[in-house]
């Protein structure tokens, strides 16, 4: 789908994307699970060069924030610290981008890694190792808690236990983030939003960002239930918005899980139609969190399922068309810069 770029000069910080190489993992997923790699995530590898092409496709992407995805772990560091390998790899990508040889965008200007908070207080050692791997770019972690009783909703790469964010040992590890002034990205599915609310209330001084509008579900056993469950989702989003330490990412809705659109990858649907699909969710999130605690995200390449990179940002711009210049500046760049502490990009 090719479209003219709307407001091509408008500055954007993309606060959520991944880089990976899943090809070595393919033998781990017997048929029919290969469809997760080939369908739901329509690339087995997604590299610096590939993403650099996306950000150069017309929108004014000033910088990006890398989000952990379990890639490039280094087993030599041991189970507790193997995720340091991912941060080391991404820090190298960030340095490559910062050289200016590949364009003006500062890819991976901020890095969100992973530490297993179920290690309890000893998770602090892993957090320190992650920071040491990238002292100027590492900002915090994501420990995803996405779970559903229907195993078809997520597929084999996701193994979070139910009620992870309420686990005593997990919360012991979570305390280590606050000691270090690090942020936390939460990824759960819509039925799990009460767990994030509970976590945010228990740790009011730790900055938390809810990914992907809380991931509304429209596939597997949730097929056809988006409208039915919208009120439940909305009630929880409004309640979470009352927690001043929480921000929300406006995106992730082009994932297969959400069924907005139902077809993919990159279904060829234009930004006007996508904006209509996503607007009720994004406007609810902005209503709950305000324009000072919300940020648009690409979630690329996962959202390639339903939207090309240029079309995705066009859809966001259509949804935000009625906002003031100051509000758009916050939603598209300022809030991401503040939450991930990369304000120098906007200087």
Q: What is the CATH number of domain 11-346?
A: 3.20.20.140
Token couple for 119: 């290690």
Domain boundaries, the chain: 11-346
End-to-end CA distance of the chain: 34
pLDDT at residue 266, as a whole number: 62
Let me know: does 208 contact 245? Beta carbons within 8 Å.
Answer: yes
Let me know: does 33 contact 22? Beta carbons within 8 Å.
Answer: no
pLDDT at residue 152, as a whole number: 87
pLDDT at residue 21, as a whole number: 80
- pLDDT tens digit sequence for 215-259: 999 999 999 999 999 999 999 999 999 999 999 999 999 998 999
The side-by-side arrangement of strands in the sheet containing 11-17 is: 11-17, 60-67, 106-113, 138-142, 183-186, 208-210, 246-250, 294-296
d(CA 160, CA 162): 7
d(CA 184, CA 199): 11
Q: What is the dihedral of CA 83, 97, 296, 56, to 10 degrees?
A: -130
| In 220-334, alpha helices (H) | 226-240, 271-289, 309-319, 325-329
Which distant-in-sequence residues (6+ apart) come within 8 Å of 161 by Cβ? 147, 167
- Please give the DSSP secondary-structure letter assigned to residue 332: I
Going residue by residue through the chain (347 aa), what tens digit of pLDDT does each one get? Answer: 679 999 999 999 999 999 988 666 555 444 433 333 334 444 567 889 999 999 999 999 999 999 999 999 999 999 999 999 999 999 999 999 999 999 999 999 999 999 999 999 999 999 999 999 999 999 999 999 999 999 888 876 667 999 999 999 999 999 999 999 999 999 999 999 999 999 999 999 999 999 999 999 999 999 999 999 999 999 999 999 999 999 999 999 999 899 999 887 666 789 999 999 999 999 999 999 999 999 999 999 999 889 999 999 999 999 999 999 999 999 999 999 999 999 999 98
The residues with which 45 forms a beta bridge, in sequence order, are: 21
pLDDT at residue 189, as a whole number: 97
Let me know: does 197 contact 239? Beta carbons within 8 Å.
Answer: yes
d(CA 221, CA 219): 6
pLDDT at residue 114, as a whole number: 98
d(CA 210, CA 204): 14
Let me know: does 335 contact 96? Beta carbons within 8 Å.
Answer: no
d(CA 336, CA 251): 13
d(CA 233, CA 217): 10
């Amino acid at each position: 789908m090719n479209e003219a770029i709307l407001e091509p000069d408008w500055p954007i910080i993309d606060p959520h994307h991944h880089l990976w190489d899943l090809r070595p993992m393919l033998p781990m997923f017997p048929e029919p699970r290969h469809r997760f790699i080939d369908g739901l995530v329509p690339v087995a590898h997604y590299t610096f060069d590939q993403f650099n092409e996306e950000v150069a496709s017309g929108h004014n992407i000033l910088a990006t924030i890398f989000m952990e995805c379990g890639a490039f772990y280094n087993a030599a560091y041991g189970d507790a610290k193997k995720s340091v390998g991912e941060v080391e790899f991404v820090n190298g990508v960030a340095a490559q981008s910062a050289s200016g040889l590949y364009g003006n965008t500062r890819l991976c200007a901020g890095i969100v890694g992973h530490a297993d908070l179920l290690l309890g207080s000893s998770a602090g050692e892993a957090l320190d190792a992650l920071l040491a791997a990238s002292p100027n770019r590492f900002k915090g972690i994501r420990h995803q808690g996405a779970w559903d009783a229907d195993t078809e909703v997520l597929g084999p790469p996701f193994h979070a236990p139910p009620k992870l964010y309420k686990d005593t040992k997990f919360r012991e590890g979570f305390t280590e983030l606050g000691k270090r002034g690090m942020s936390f990205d939460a990824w759960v599915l819509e039925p799990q939003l009460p767990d994030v609310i509970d976590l945010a209330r228990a740790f009011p001084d730790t900055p938390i960002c809810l990914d992907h509008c809380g991931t509304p579900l429209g596939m597997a056993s949730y097929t056809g239930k988006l409208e039915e469950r919208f009120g439940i989702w909305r009630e929880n989003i409004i309640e979470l918005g009352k927690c001043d330490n929480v921000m929300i990412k406006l995106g992730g809705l082009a994932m297969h899980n959400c069924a907005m659109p139902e077809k993919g990858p990159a279904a060829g649907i234009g930004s006007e139609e996508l904006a209509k699909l996503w607007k009720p969710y994004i406007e609810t999130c902005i209503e709950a969190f305000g324009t000072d605690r919300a940020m648009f995200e690409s979630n690329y390449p996962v959202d390639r399922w339903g939207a090309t990179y240029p079309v995705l940002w066009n859809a966001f711009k259509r949804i935000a068309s009625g906002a003031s210049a100051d509000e758009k500046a916050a939603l598209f760049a300022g809030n991401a810069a503040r939450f991930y502490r990369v304000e120098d990009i906007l200087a």
